[in-house]
């Protein structure tokens, strides 16, 4: 689960730690899917495409807009790494708070955004007797081609 921060210039943007497990997986295989599911509405949107890092300037801009506590947390947490316990995290938070005291917290070089550039978007709507709607848009060259899939 990641927080979708926006859809910018046709790409879906999210942020995180470039040393995390998912970052390693995306480096090995940048083809990914985003799934948005609304249980009570019985709707789903699935987006597939290639993931790239956003520019350093864009990551800097978003990082600077985050609360100071989250900025320090990004330095303190070796995301996806095994840690001995909470004490370890709390100690690191104190260390980084001291390091950046009285000045803005810079973006860690291993923290930033990703943009998924879609080449396939499927809208799924639950219907009776499992005869659901599936509307697929595929990017072909410069245009989107629409088709209906069997549920
Ligand atoms: C509601 C919610 C929002 C989250 N948003 C993010 C996010 O924007 N970025 C992020 O790196 N992790 C986010 N996480 C944490 C991830 O789900 C995940 O635990 C973390 O990224 C490490 O994943 P990995 O070890 O597979 O790389 C969120 C978790 C939840 C429950």
pLDDT digits (tens, 9 = 90+) for 68-80: 999 999 999 999 9
Residue 126 banded pLDDT, cuts 50, 70, 90: very high
Residue pLDDT, tens place only, 77-100? 999 999 999 999 999 999 999 999
Query: CA 58, 117, 37: angle at the middle one, nearest 5?
Result: 100
This prediction's pTM: 0.95
130 included as an active-site residue: yes
Q: How far is the CA of 3 from the centre of ligand 1 (A)?
A: 8
Query: CA 32, 36, 41: angle at the middle one, nearest 5?
Result: 155
Average pLDDT, the chain: 97
Start-to-end CA span in the chain (Å): 25
> Position of tokens 């509405």?
41
Query: CA 21, 123, 141: angle at the middle one, nearest 5?
Result: 80
Of these residues, 86, 103, 130, 143, which one is catalytic? Answer: 130
């Amino acid at each position: 689960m990641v927080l979708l921060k926006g859809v910018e210039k046709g790409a879906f943007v999210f942020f995180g730690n470039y040393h995390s497990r998912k970052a390693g997986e995306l480096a090995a295989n940048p083809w990914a899917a985003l799934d948005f599911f609304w249980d009570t509405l019985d709707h789903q949107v699935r987006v597939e495409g290639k993931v790239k890092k956003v520019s350093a300037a864009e990551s800097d801009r978003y990082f600077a807009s985050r609360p100071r506590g989250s900025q320090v947390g990004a330095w303190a947490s070796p995301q996806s790494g095994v840690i001995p316990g909470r004490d370890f995290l709390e100690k690191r938070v104190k260390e980084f708070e001291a390091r950046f005291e009285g000045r803005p917290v810079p973006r860690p070089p291993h923290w930033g955004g990703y943009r998924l550039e879609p080449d396939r978007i499927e809208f799924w709507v639950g219907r009776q007797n499992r005869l659901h709607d599936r509307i697929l848009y595929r990017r072909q060259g410069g245009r989107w081609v629409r088709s209906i899939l069997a549920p």
